[in-house]
Structure 1
Amino acid sequence: MRAEGQAGGYGLWMMLLAVLLGAVWPGWAAGQVIQRIEVEGTRGIEEETIRSFIGSKVGQELSREQVSEDIQAIFASGFVTDVRVEEEEVPGGLALTYIIAEKPLIQEVSFTGNAQIKQDDLEKLVELKAHAIFDPGKVQEAKARIEEEYQKKGLFLTEVVPEVEEVEPGRVRVIFHLHEYKKPQVKKIEIFGNEKISERKLHQAMQGVKESGAFTRKPYNREEMFRSLYFLDYYYKDHGFLDLKVASPERLLTPDLRQVYIGVGLEEGIQYRVGTITVTGDLLDPEAESKKNFALQEGEIFRQSQLQMDIQYLTDRYGEEGYALVDIDYQLDRHPEDAIVNLNYMIHKGKKVYFERIEMTGNDKTHDKVIRRELTISETQLYSSKELRRSQARVQRLGFFNSVEFIPRPGSADDRVNVDVVIKERPSGAFSAGAGYSTTEDFFFTAQYSQQNFLGQGLSLSLQTQISQRTQNYYVRFDDRYFLDSNWRFAVNLFSTEQRYLDFTSARRGGSLTVGRPIPHTEYVRTSLTYSLVQSNLENYAKSSSIYRRQPANTLIGSLTTQLERNALDNYLDPTKGSLLSAGVEVAGYNVFGGEQDFIKTILEAQYYQPIPKTRGTYLSGRVLLGLLDYQGGEDLLITERFFLGGIHSLRGYEYGSVGPVFVEDSEFETPIGGNKELVFNLDYVIPISKEMGLKFVAFYDIGNAFNDNEEIDLSNLRQDWGAGIRWMSPMGPLRFELGFPLDRREGERSEVFNFAIGTNF
């Protein structure tokens, strides 16, 4: 006799039948002892695995309830499609044989027709493995997951057809046939139900899916569609529409399946204004004082962005006092009948928290001390969110790192917090060489070895050569901003330069020594003293020029420059935000500093960088430069120290040194002599091209001039230019390639000038 079962509803019926048979068949009578238990029909499954589901044991009396439970347990394992239990009388009792029919095993899982999703990615999605037990339900689940992934990529027309092929008895091959279709282009996005905000503004707010244009193809992407709906919802809430309802977008495909129309239905609801604002809980400041600093104010239209700003303000305010774990919740109480919403901030400040451990990660090259000396936080110090941000800004400002993150995490106790300083180093040292051609330099060759973070200790070392028809420059620079681990700066600069102007060559050879330090109790202000000893000479000029012939030859200049600088830029090498103010006075000679010439040169400079809101890294930058030279040398003008404008560091639409006063010779030939005063304004509009590569596009406008000894600075007599270019934050430092066009071109001046430079923006 036998009891048996089968998977599915039929299996349940068979298990019920087995119980009934046990109740009426004499062979299942109680009191008989089980003498032997056998398992038959296993191929891929270990016999012991099946036995583990059998509760009946040898030596026990036969129980029809237990045999029924055995059948149910074997089915529940998911390994079988059929179970039979047969009984045979043997001496002393009964022998039970559990005969099973295994589910087939998967021999192989394969895919056909997939071009948009890689095989490896599909295998991760389906979660079906070779040698696993075949389960039709899991095949359907895998199909759904594949369709979901194609939906995310905008390929919602893709068909997924699974096929199960028997390879041999007990083994199957699962094949997913994929019929991919190209992403349809978004032809039109229609918004319905908007009455108070124009569709044009809503389209601008929907960052994500965009309509295709005459020259642009915008493929449909489901994730981008949901992203657009998120921005649409945020835009409405940022304009007081707190009851907005947005329906799921509808899609309408064109008959050729190449384009899709998208419809978004919405119900705007009421536009709320702020009623009352209250602050409750653990207050650090009087409620009225806190409310004065809020962006949201009573009576104004409710804006989600201002709510977030106010929460951040409160978080920072409490963080400054050591409450790192402050919990700030809020409640909106809407009154649609009056179109107002009351806002209540609920604050639980928690315990004061102290810094426990500050650990650096990612600085494979840079020594910890280079980072730690920029920190204004320390271990055991009371937590301060303000000092945390300040420390992060100081480390980022070094210019050695692509990214800097300060990540707080729980410490060993609930009043302790650890900080991970996670940095990503940028290549700080490189050797590079190149050659090229420009309209100003003709053929040029440049080679440079630079280490902006030499030996990982924050030292700067640079050796540079630039040779062309107009220039022959050699530099060796060394700079240590924390000399001997102190706050003192020490720098050495050796150079030999020959710069070809329009009518002469300025040759300068010498060096300088700089010492400086921050001004105590200030954040960004430094002062420095630089002593320079330079041999200057005017060369390669036309002998017919009487003014050049009167200039001193091989004159020695010894000078001391006092510099006061406030540098609040976010990055020394590649700034995008902040300001720089600088004042320098160079005093030469006067029987104090050596040399053969006495003069005073003053340079005042201001730079400002302002990010453009709601853009991805675009910013404006501007510079104002004023130079004054006080030299009483009579006809000896000391031309090598005068101001000549033109070139990449002043007026980029004019040749190097071509803008400024001239001396009219007896032959009526105009000889450039430079000015003893200069004024320059620069304005740049910078758009990132690739953040990873450090590429940026720049459009610029310049205005300025140099003025003679007998002239005052005349704002109505300024030269102008405009242009565009590419900037690259390369491993050897910032590279600039810019093309300028004069706006008031005069006779003999070029219509465009190409500029190339290695170094910072101004």
Structure 2
Amino acid sequence: MLKIRNLVIFLVVFCSLTVRAEVIEKIKVVGNVRISTQSILFRIHSEEGQELDLDTISQDIKRLWDLKVFSDIKVDVEDGKNGKIVIFAVKERPIVKDYEFLGNHAVGPNALLDKLKEKGVVLRKNSQLDYEEIARIKKAIIDIYKEKGYQYTKVEHAYTSVGNNIINLTFTIYEGSKVHVYKIDFEGNKVYSDRKLKKKLKKLKEHWMFSWISATDIYSEKKYNEAIENLKKFYWKHGYKDIYVGEPKIEVKDFTSEKQKKKNKERLKEHKKIKQDLRMYITIPIHEGKQYFIGRVSFVGNKVLPDTYLVKKWELEEGKPYNLDKINEFVKDISETYNNFGYLQFTMEKITKIRDGNIVDLTFKINEGKRFVLHRLEFKGNDVTRDKVLRREFLIPEGSVFRIDAFKNSMLKINQLGFFDITQHEPHIKLVPGENKVNVVVEGEESGVNELNFGGGYSEFSGFFLQGSYSTRNFLGRGEQLSVSATTGARITYYNIMFTEPWIFDYPHSFTVNIFNSESEYYNFSRKASGFSFSFGFRLTTFLTYSIGYKYELVDVPGSSLQQNSIFKPISNRLTSSIFQALTYNTLNHPFMPTEGQKYSLSFEYAGWQLGGDNFKYTIGLKALKLIPAYKKSFFDVNITAYYQKGLEGNVIPYYDRYFIGGTNTVRGYDYRRIAPVDPDTNQLIGGTKMFVANLEYVIPVENRFQFAVFYDMGGVWTEDMGWFSNEYSLKRSWGFEARFNLPVFQMPMRVIYGFPLDEIPGVEKKGNIEFTIGTIF
């Protein structure tokens, strides 16, 4: 295209020139609207007063074209009074206001945008049209569909003008249908049968009657490559190190009926999904080679790690099959160990020598290289957050050894802050040329830094309420947490101020103070409370913390209709003065909507006569949360919570301190505080001193800020006289669905829950409940 333009320019200019050299009298730019004339002239090397030169003009056109802001560039040469007038006629590329997708039935618009983002393709609105970017988008869309089994997807694009050289860009996707594998054959295999090898492909299977459940018959290049890798590992495990798998012979036949083909033509016109019966037949050529066995193993060049350490890591015994997969894992393991010591350019060459009996002797030639240190650390995207707040979570100070494991833990610690999201950008790690130094740039996006809310609503416990609050996890960009809130409603009045300093005097020790005043009405009593608490936290290891604090709470409970039971006696200004402490291990990758990691916590609270109160007791708590990876980005979420409390000095645990479960944070599907032991005399819930809740979820992250979960909950409460999991008050179970939205206006996820009870509670109708709340999951 550029060559044709240059030829046209040459002819125009050539016809305009006389035999003698011409001088440029004036240079004009026409056709530009948004791009200033001065900006264009700045990139043109031809100058007024100089000789007119075809090569220079050709380079001028190339420089303007490389700006990617013009859709057409022409050059005209006219006669002037004292020379030639050179006119650059440009046509600016239109501005893309918005994007639209048509025909994408298998991948929704939001999911498609997320998939494109994963491939590094971002649809930039209000930017100039980029033809190369359009080609990238179309290729990325086709790749996305191929990964899902659509091997014949086509994508077309079109422009719709909205005036003033502004357009909307529409991508029309012709998905086609998925291709099903109907037959897999192997050529060249002698040691193992076709049937045996088909089993080792694992995720790629021939079509059968229940394939619609597992989808293992859907072909994609990614799935095929994974299947071939599994096949190679099977051969490697048995000593066939030279196994070779050639290019497959693939034949696709269309078994779509003529009637369906006619329907498909009409459906395509309306951008509807079509149905095809595409069947694939695959023949995989194999060269198995000989079977080899492990011989002698030696190491040379290692200074940091001794032979004794390397031999201990080597798991293959002499005489066993030459398992190439295990050998590769060994090399990877040793490489990671050296990387964690700062040896980033470590290499490990495998030298083999084959002797009689197909025995392979191995020598690992190690080049440790230099030990690298962190030279410079930078952060991008933290417009509010101070560098100091992020740097102190980075476990490698500048000038220290750059350890890969410490670097990964640093990235996790930064993301755990909850206000600087680094998951959408890969960190930039660059070696300083000629030096054993590393520069690191961490890029992120600030989210939920400050939240100011005024509004109202309805909750299961509070009824209708009005609420006003200010909260931040990053007060003034210093990483401090501050929360001021007030709530008033039909059943609750609540005021609270909380402040946390996560780093005291630049040490990883935290301080938290909380002042509160509340008045709540429950089903059969009311409770007024006021007080304060403060605590200190100490980071013992990277993810292990210990906290200790003090709580002062005055409680007033007026008389109840149930006060004939000692638990319901009226209380006036009863003081709980307690010391509490906890040990917590936390590797969750996000404080509100984690997708991986685990969190364990053991707590103990003591309120004895020594502390001056009159509500004597102790409480032991255990919490365990583990996220287990499942299919693709989905995961299982297992949560267990257990508490036990006992009165001291003859004290009976009062009603307002006893355990009740049910509701959004314990056993979903049951009403709030409706799972508890019942007083046989009054037939009223009296709560318990032992509590157990277990939650199992299968979570599917649909988008970056949205999760969908299927859950199964169970829990129970028992009094002082009952044993754990007693038959009389057995566990109550429920199941249901939950949707979580991490909206930018809230710091915590909004949750919509539908739960259905599986066990009956006397006096309560067994039916599904829809619940709404804002807060963390567990």
State TM-score, norm by structure 1.
Answer: 0.69
Change (3 A) 1:628 1:350: same
- The answer on 1:718 being equivalent to 2:739 is no
Residues 531 and 561, structure 1, Cα contact 8 Å, conserved in 2: yes
Instruction: Report the Cα distance in structure 1 between the residues aligned to 2:653 and 2:176, rounded to whole angstroms.
Output: 72
Cα distance 1:571–1:147, how it changes in 2: closer, same or farther (>3 A)?
closer
Alpha-carbon offset, residue 482 of structure 1: 0.9
| Inter-partner Cα distance in structure 2 for 1:458 and 1:147 | 42
Task: Return the letter of the residue paired with 1:728.
Answer: F
CA contact (8 A) 2:155 2:174 kept: no
Q: Which residue of 1 aligns with 2:695?
A: 683
Q: 2:305 aligns with which of 266, 280, 285?
A: 285
CA 1:149/1:431 → structure 2, altered by over 3 Å: closer, same or farther?
Answer: closer
Name the CA distance, whole Å, in 2 between partners of 1:402 and 1:272. 51
Q: Which residue of 1 aligns with 2:717?
A: 705
| Residue 655 (structure 1) aligned with residue 647 (structure 2) | no
Structure 2: gaps (5+ residues): 1-7, 21-54, 59-88, 95-100, 105-122, 157-170, 187-193, 237-242, 265-274
Give the aligned partner of residue 669 of structure 1. 682
**Separation in structure 2 between the aligned mates of residue 326 and residue 295 of structure 1, nearest angstrom:** 21
Which residue of 395, 407, 421 corresponds with 2:414?
Answer: 395
Tell me which residue corresponds to 1:312: 332
Structure 2 counterpart of 1:165: none
- Where do 1:349-498 residues align within 5 Å? 349-403=368-422, 405-432=426-453, 436=457, 443=464, 447-466=468-487, 469-498=490-519
The answer to whether residue 275 in structure 2 is matched with residue 262 in structure 1 is: no
Write the letter of the residue equivalent to 2:443. V
CA drift of 1:707 comes to: 1.9
Tell me which amino acid in the other structure corresponds to 2:177: Q
Q: Which residue of 2 aligns with 1:29?
A: none
**Partner of residue 530 from structure 1, selected from 530, 533, 549:** 549
1:198-237 alignment to 2 at 5 Å? Answer: 202=201, 204-205=203-204, 225-237=220-232
Report % sequence identity. 21
Q: In 2 relative to 1, CA 473–440 (structure 1 residues): closer, same or farther, beyond 3 Å? A: same
User: Equivalents in 2 of 1:687, 1:183: separation in Å?
Assistant: 28
Residues 46-65 of structure 1, C-alpha deviations (whole Å, 9 max, x = no match): 4589999xxxxxxxxxxxxx
Once the two structures are TM-superposed, the CA of residue 712 in structure 1 deviates from its matched residue by 3.6
May I ask how many residue pairs the two structures share in their alignment? 621
Which residue identity does 2:248 align to in structure 1? A
| Paired amino acid for 1:354 | V
Within 5 Å, give how 1:498-509 maps onto structure 2: 498-509=519-530
1:502/1:658 contact within 8 Å kept:
no
Change (3 A) 1:608 1:50: farther
Distance in 1 (CA, whole Å) between partners of 2:754 and 2:578 is 36
Partners of 2:686 and 2:396 in 1: CA distance: 54
Contact 1:473 1:497 in 2 (8 A): yes
Shift, 1:266, TM fit: 0.9
Residue matched to 1:247: 248
Distance 1:413 1:576, change over 3 A: same
- Aligned partners of 2:661, 2:140: CA distance in 1, in Å? 60
Residues 183 and 407 of structure 1, relative CA distance in 2, 3 Å threshold: closer
Contact 2:753 2:772 in 1 (8 A): yes
Aligned equivalents of 1:159 and 1:531: distance in 2?
A: 64
CA distance in 1, matches of 2:558, 2:292: 74
- Contact 2:93–2:129 (8 Å) recurs in 1: no
Letter of the 2:341 partner, please give it.
E
Secondary structure at the residue paired with 1:393?
helix
Question: CA shift at 1:267, angstroms?
Answer: 2.5
**Which letter maps to 1:720?**
K
Instruction: Please give the TM-score of this superposition, normalised by the length of structure 2.
Output: 0.67
Shift of 1:627: 1.9
SS of equivalent residue, structure 2 residue 227: helix
Distance 1:517 1:115, change over 3 A: closer
The reply on whether 1:512 has 2:572 as its aligned counterpart is: no
Contact 1:402 1:425 in 2 (8 A): yes
Q: Alpha-carbon deviation of 1:325?
A: 0.9
2:347 aligns with 327
* Equivalent residue, structure 2, for 1:646: 662
Change (3 A) 1:470 1:42: closer
Distance 2:580 2:762 in 1: 39
Partner residue in 2 for 1:624: 641
| Cα gap change, 1:182 to 1:51, in 2 (>3 Å) | farther
CA contact (8 A) 1:159 1:180 kept: yes
Q: Determine if contact 2:702/2:708 at 8 Å carries over to the other structure.
A: yes
Are the equivalent residues in 1 in contact too, given 2:558–2:571 (CA < 8 A)? no
Residue 35 (structure 2) aligns with: none
Q: 1:262-315, CA deviations, whole angstroms, 9 ceiling, x for partnerless residues?
A: 3322124439877327464422435564254357777468475x5554333122
How many angstroms apart in 1 are the aligned matches of 2:9 and 2:600? Answer: 88
Query: 1:360 offset after TM fit, Å?
Result: 1.9
- Alpha-carbon distance between aligned partners in 1 of 2:702 and 2:246, rounded to the nearest angstrom: 38
CA apart distance, 1:456:
1.6
Please provide the CA RMSD for this pair: 4.9
Kindly provide the CA deviation profile for residues 569-618 of structure 1, in whole angstroms up to 9, marking residues without a partner as x.
4434344444434333333362x5444x1413222213131322553141
User: Structure 1 residue 732 and structure 2 residue 739: aligned?
Assistant: no
Q: Deviations over 1:380-435 (max 9, x none)?
A: 22332232223223223323332255442112533222222233333332234565
Stretch of structure 1 that moved more, 393-402 or 196-205: 196-205
For the residues of structure 2 that align with 1:494 and 1:606, how far apart are their CA atoms?
25
* Cα pair distance change 1:108/1:272, threshold 3 Å: farther
1:560 matched to which residue of 2? 579
Q: Which runs of 5+ in 1 are unaligned?
A: 1-39, 53-73, 78-104, 128-141, 161-178
CA gap 1:647/1:156 in 2 versus in 1, 3 angstroms? closer
CA gap 1:406/1:294 in 2 versus in 1, 3 angstroms: farther
Aligned residue for 1:363, secondary structure, equals coil
1:333-344 counterparts in 2 under 5 A? none
